[in-house]
Amino acid sequence: MDISHDGVVTLAVVLREGTFDAAAKALHITPSAVSQRIKALETAVGRIVVRRTKPATATPDGEVLVRLAEQWTLLVDEAQSQLVGLPDSSASDPRDRPRVHVPIAANADSLATWLLPVLAQAHRDHPMAVEVMRDDESQNSLLLRSGEVLGAITSDPIAIRGCTIVPLGAMRYLPVATPEFVETWLPDGPTDRDLARAPMVMFDRNDYLQRDTLRTVTAGTIDPPIVYIPASTEYHRAIAAGMGWGAVPIAQVPDALADGSLVPIVDSHVDVPLHWQFWTLSSPLLAALTTAVVDAARRELVQI
């Protein structure tokens, strides 16, 4: 089996851009050349690798090749950085060092609390340019499996084939609301009757954390009104503004709890275990980023 590098890279661009025509523009070749590369790749592997839909999507076999393309790109970029960037040369301007693209996936709450300083330090210490794809921690393993990212913070404890997984600790969440909200909507405490009417704030429709929290504070199955606020900081602000109740990272609200502007609606908390999962590659940059993420998480998260 002779897998062409041009073929797998072209496949990755087709899937990223969505169509053969858009991929041709990105690669500065003709749509016919894109089609020929994909056909040659499919002939070489004996499989259909892309569904000709709009947008184009990878078949399971195509996902394997996309992962190969991303990994190959990372390793080639690192080699070029070492050969051309001359990082140890005092005569070269460090601003001219080529930076390697490193796509990762992270949940919004990690970005809003402990992760961003880690990425900033990694940028200062290493010639990388991180791209963060943000999704719920329960969904990030899908981005890793498809080959779109090289590492991901996920709540999935099962390692994807070809990946290494490291437990990070747990992010602790507390269901809170303003005192005025509690007085209006939950005057007798978090009863099923009142929680069924009280607005609940969710990040988006993939936010299973709020549903899980609701199940811990109710005796039955209820369906409250939902407010959707798809950003971590604004989610917290929406609760502080009295739009509803919701579970927020304790790390975000110590001052609000101390001054009484937010109060817990129950005495219990919810812990969400997080894991760092990454492709097992001989990549110094990915190894350095892994060390930084794991060390910071074990300082900042709840160890359970």
Q: What is the pLDDT of residues 145-172, one digit of tens each?
A: 777 888 999 988 888 878 899 999 999 9
CATH number, domain containing residue 184: 3.40.190.10
187 φ, ψ to 5°?
Answer: -65, -25
DSSP string, 217-260: H-SS-----EEE--SHHHHHHHHHTTS-BEEEEGGG-HHHHHHT
Whether residue 201 has pLDDT greater than 90:
yes
**Segment 31-47, tens digit of pLDDT:** 899 999 998 888 888 88
**Which run of H or of E encompasses 273?**
strand 270-279
pLDDT at position 295 over 80: yes
Q: Please check whether residue 222 lies inside any domain of the structure.
A: yes
Identify whether 94 is part of a domain: no
Residue 8: CB atoms within 10 A of its CB come to 26
Residue 82 pLDDT: 58
206 pLDDT higher than 60: yes
* pLDDT(89) > 60: no
For residue 13, what are the CA distances in angstroms to 40, 158, 205, 276, 301? 16, 29, 29, 26, 37
**pLDDT above 50: residue 90:** no
Range of the domain at 208: 171-272
Residue 293 pLDDT grade (very low, low, confident, very high; cuts 50, 70, 90): very high
Asked if residue 189 belongs to a domain, the reply is yes
Q: Is residue 183 part of a domain?
A: yes
Q: What is the 3-state secondary structure (H, E, C) of 107-139?
A: CHHHHHHHHHHHHHHHHHHCCEEEEEEECCCCC
pLDDT at 17 over 70: yes
Strand partners, 291: none
Question: How many structural domains comprise the chain?
Answer: 1
Q: For residue 42, give the H/E element and its range.
A: helix 31-45
Residue 84 pLDDT class (50, 70, 90 cuts): very low
How far is 292 from 252, CA to CA, in rounded Å? Answer: 22
Kindly state the DSSP code that residue 148 receives in the 8-state scheme: S
CB crowding 16-48: b at 16 or more within 10 Å, else e: ebebbebbbeebeeeeebbbebbeebbeebeee
Type and span of the H or E element at 215: helix 208-217
Give the per-residue pLDDT at 145: 79
Per-residue model confidence (pLDDT) at position 264: 96
One-letter amino acid of 62: G
Query: What pLDDT was estimated at residue 126?
Result: 87
Please check whether residue 61 lies inside any domain of the structure.
Answer: no
Residue in 197, 173, 201, 200 with CA at minimum distance from that of residue 264: 173
Q: Is the pLDDT of residue 261 over 90?
A: yes
Mean pLDDT for 110-122 is 94
Instruction: Round to whole Å and give the CA distance between 231 and 228.
Output: 9
- Provide mean pLDDT across the span 80-95: 54
* Nearest CA among 178, 233, 225, 182 for reference residue 201: 225
**So what's the pLDDT on residue 196?**
94
Percent of the chain, pLDDT > 70?
92
Bond from prior residue into 127 cis (ω within 30 degrees of 0): no
In this predicted structure, what is the pLDDT of residue 94? 66
- CA distance linking residue 171 with residue 253, whole number of Å: 13
Residue 204 covered by a domain: yes
Main-chain phi, psi angles of 166, to 5 degrees: -130, 125
199-224: average pLDDT: 86
Report yes or no on 159 lying in a domain. Answer: no
Ramachandran quadrant class, 126 (left: phi over 0; alpha: psi -120 to 50; beta: rest): beta
Q: Which residue has the higher pLDDT, 4 or 272?
A: 272
Residue 35 lies in a domain: no
**Number of other CB atoms surrounding residue 77 within 10 Å:** 20
- On average, the pLDDT of the chain sits at 87
The per-residue pLDDT for 80 is 62
